[in-house]
Amino acid sequence: MKNERKISDVDIESVMGRLLITGVIISGALILFGGVYYLLEKGLSIPHYKTFVGEPSHLRSVKQIFKGVIHFDSLSIIQLGLLLLIATPISRVIFSVIGFFFEKDYLYVVISFIVLIIIAYSIFSVATG
């Protein structure tokens, strides 16, 4: 009994590890691509990060970011990569809910689900904006 659970745990952990690496690589590639494109475009201009003005609305919501990516806007491509990076640990929590369910560890299905609801509360504000 104890052995069976141990094997399941190792399975969950190894899939989780691959999930995290995949998320980081894909978002990293998007950010790198958008970044090189951005530097080629605006590399010789002067940055202005000294005072906070807030990002324009087209870089704040999921819908607007996708719109910018379709128009091949370099900053929108970077922002999409950043969005994917935020999604990576969230996908890990979603996977945990499923993994613990197959492991029949219902206590941890509930615990993972609570974490998911709390994060959903925060992400909901971006998705609808």
Partner 1 sequence: MTVLLFSLIVLAGSFLAGLVGALTGLGGGVIIIPMLTLLFGVDIHYAIGASLISVIATSSGAAAAYVKEGISNIRIGMFLEIATTLGAVGGAMIAVYAPTDTIAVIFGFVLVFSAVISLKKKNENLVQYSGGKLSQILKLNSSYPTEHGEISYAAHNVPGGFIMMAIAGLISGLLGIGSGALKVIAMDHFMKLPFKVSTTTSNFMIGVTAAASAGIYMQRGYINPGLSMPVVLGVITGAFLGSKILVKSKTKWLRVLFACIITFLAVQMIYNGLTGKI
- For partner 1, the binding residues (CB under 8 A) are 9-10, 12-14, 16-18, 20-21, 23-24, 27-28, 31-32, 34-35, 38-39, 42-47, 49-52, 54-56, 59-61, 75-76, 78-79, 81-83, 85-90, 92-93, 96, 105, 107-108, 111-112, 114-115, 118-119, 121-126, 129
Burial class (CB in 10 A: 0-12, 13-18, 19+), 80: buried
- 4 versus 49: smaller Cβ distance to partner 1: 49
Q: Which of 93, 89, 70, 90 is nearest to 80 (CA)?
A: 70
Q: What one-character DSSP code corresponds to residue 73?
A: -
Min dist CB 102 to partner 1, Å, is: 14
Min dist CB 66 to partner 1, Å, is: 14
Query: What contacts 124, CB < 8 A, 6 or more positions away?
Result: none
